[in-house]
Amino acid sequence: ANLKMEEIVSLCKRRGIIFPSSEIYNGFAGFFDYGPLGSELKRNVKDAFWKAFVHEREDVVGIDSSIIHNPTTWKSSGHLDGFSDPMVDCRETKLRYRADQLYCSPVVLEECGSTVGFVCVLEGNDEDMVKEAKAQANRLLKEKEKKGAIQPFQFKDLTQVTEEEMAQIPSPGSNKPTLTMPRDFNLMFQTNVGAMQDASSVAYLRPETAQGIFINYKNVLASSRIKLPFGIAQIGKAFRNEITPRNFIFRSREFEQMEIEYFIPPGDEDVWKPYHEKWIADSKAFLEQVGLREELMGYDVHEGDGLAHYARACTDITFKFPFGVQELMGIAARGDFDLKSHSEGSGKVLDYFDEETKEKFIPHVIEPSLGVDRLILALICSAYAEDEINGEKRSYLSFHPSIAPVKVAVLPLVKNKEPLVKAARELYEKLKKRWNVQWDQTGAIGRRYRRADEVGVPFCVTVDFETIESDGAVTVRDRDSTEQVRIPMDEVVPYLSKMIDG
């Protein structure tokens, strides 16, 4: 089922997955809090990544670096000079926008071919954008008391327009031409370290986890027995002072990343390309494994202008979010840009000594980078489902058991028969040692199933009269199919373990 963004935001709040941050103080744009279910979901997603890419591989190790690095790190990495987005200001409303996410198109009257103004619309998927543009163009024409056919819209973003054109472009929300020319806005959050509040104490919250890996490259190499090719993974918070945080947790100012730097021998395309392709395939397989629906995923191969100057290649894995197809994760072949920059910046040569060939060189790198929160949004969109059971509408979250916040709900059929409740309670005690499980004894059994479905609990185990009086077995109900199987009490753990942990 397709949900609108507002519906997802409201579902997340109602079910305790994600709340706006500091809500009692009217929130704080670009920040979010994970609730009881969301924090479990997030933990599971990060564990799944770590398991797939660190524990299950012999060639990847993990680190957990500090969030604030020596500020020279950001000089060497290029972030201080170049980690910025083009920004325009609206003089009228005092609002700021990302110039590359604001699109404009001239309004041309077909009969005389003259330009009567520009429409300017916010980022959106194409259909919404054209609809909004048409409405704006009509308002503009009405205002100028002109009527006529409008030429098809040819959008360009505000980084592409001339000063003369800019002078005509109305700000979003007002029809006056009041936007400044784009200028660079650095996205790093600044802070001061130590008691001095001057330029000498300025430091930055990391805008990505990757640099913490590069600056630890030598330490990891010297302390582990790892040999090229090998990877270093890190999961952790990143901060970006996004000009326009939007689309819920898709683009926030504080988020988490799961990144790997995979070091490979230097060389041309024939060397790095197979590694790059393998990482794209492995990343895609991981996303499917945690339950993203295949048909909602795609690829975006960066070429030409779309490729960062230091990158050899970059492929994004995209996801069809309710607001359009967008980047979910990026897999870049970055050459030796990073290790070289940090070698120059630090004066410590970040090279590799190949014992077999006795050669020293700076490795190249493949970088898979995935946002935890962005993946969580994709997982929620992917999992939301509606159907009908016995004529009753049901909405549920079909999370993959490995990432489901609650794995099992234990339900005693009735709550006033002591031996039955006791048997259920014993099972619950046993299961909660292994997984996050839920105890629910109130309400009709159908209602309790529905409640579990809503938060994506994959299995409900019901203890009934037969359990204690005759067969010593329980009913295990599957969330998606609603099918029930009867399983002997002492086989419940192995059964669930196969279903949940694979």
**Are residues 130 and 324 in contact, defined by beta-carbon separation less than 8 angstroms?**
no
Q: How far apart are CA 349 and CA 351, in angstroms?
A: 6
Q: Is residue 312 close enough to count as binding ligand ATP by CB under 6 A? A: no
Binder of ligand ATP out of 92, 327, 454, 478 (CB under 6 A): 327
| Shortest Cβ 370–ligand ATP spacing (Å) | 6
Closer of 254 and 440 to ligand ATP (Cβ): 254
Binder of ligand ATP out of 42, 206, 218, 251 (CB under 6 A): 251
Q: Is residue 374 close enough to count as binding ligand ATP by CB under 6 A? A: yes
Q: Is residue 74 close enough to count as binding ligand ATP by CB under 6 A? A: no
Binder of ligand ATP out of 209, 252, 341, 382 (CB under 6 A): 252
| Shortest Cβ 238–ligand ATP spacing (Å) | 7
Q: Which residues contact 113 (CB under 8 A, 6 or more apart)?
A: none
**Are residues 150 and 107 in contact, defined by beta-carbon separation less than 8 angstroms?**
yes
Closer of 150 and 378 to ligand ATP (Cβ): 378
The total number of residues shown for the chain amounts to: 502
Q: Which residues contact 124 (CB under 8 A, 6 or more apart)?
A: 132, 323, 324
What 3-state class would DSSP assign to 18? Answer: strand
Closer of 93 and 241 to ligand ATP (Cβ): 241
Residue nearest to ligand ATP (CB): 371
| Shortest Cβ 392–ligand ATP spacing (Å) | 37
CB atoms within 10 A of CB 374: 23
| Shortest Cβ 242–ligand ATP spacing (Å) | 5
Q: How far apart are CA 171 and CA 120, in angstroms?
A: 7
Q: Is residue 100 close enough to count as binding ligand ATP by CB under 6 A? A: no
Closer of 109 and 187 to ligand ATP (Cβ): 187
Binder of ligand ATP out of 40, 89, 242, 453 (CB under 6 A): 242
Q: What are the tokens at 132?
A: 């909004």
Closer of 126 and 429 to ligand ATP (Cβ): 126
Listing DSSP states for 438-488 in one string gives EE--SS-HHHHHHHHHHTT--EEEEE-HHIIIII-EEEEEETTT--EEEEE
Closer of 255 and 352 to ligand ATP (Cβ): 255
Sign of CA pseudo-dihedral 149, 154, 159, 165: negative
Closer of 215 and 328 to ligand ATP (Cβ): 328
Q: Which residues contact 127 (CB under 8 A, 6 or more apart)?
A: none
Binding mask 197-216 for ligand ATP (x = CB under 6 A): -----------x--------
Binder of ligand ATP out of 257, 283, 341, 462 (CB under 6 A): 257
Listing DSSP states for 315-362 in one string gives EEEEEEETTEEEEEEEEEEEETHHHHHHHHHHSS---EEETTTTEEEP
133 φ/ψ angles, rounded to the nearest 5 degrees: -65, -40
The structure tokens 């090719």 sit at 229
Closer of 310 and 495 to ligand ATP (Cβ): 310
Closer of 313 and 420 to ligand ATP (Cβ): 313
Nearest CA to 97 out of 205, 35, 185 is that of 185
Residues touching ligand ATP, count (CB under 6 A): 16
Closer of 232 and 474 to ligand ATP (Cβ): 232
**Nearest 10 degrees: Cα torsion 227, 233, 239, 240:** 70
Q: Is residue 371 close enough to count as binding ligand ATP by CB under 6 A? A: yes
**Are residues 116 and 108 in contact, defined by beta-carbon separation less than 8 angstroms?**
yes
Nearest CA to 252 out of 485, 62, 34, 90 is that of 34
Q: Is residue 330 close enough to count as binding ligand ATP by CB under 6 A? A: yes
Name residues contacting ligand ATP, limited to 341-370 (CB under 6 A).
Answer: 369-370
Stretch that binds ligand ATP, among 249-257, 290-298, 400-408, 484-492 (CB under 6 A): 249-257
Name residues contacting ligand ATP, limited to 114-173 (CB under 6 A).
Answer: none
Closer of 231 and 371 to ligand ATP (Cβ): 371
| Shortest Cβ 103–ligand ATP spacing (Å) | 16
| Shortest Cβ 308–ligand ATP spacing (Å) | 9
Binder of ligand ATP out of 53, 97, 255, 459 (CB under 6 A): 255
Query: Given the rule CB under 6 A, which residues bind ligand ATP?
Result: 208, 240, 242, 251-252, 255, 257, 327-330, 369-371, 373-374
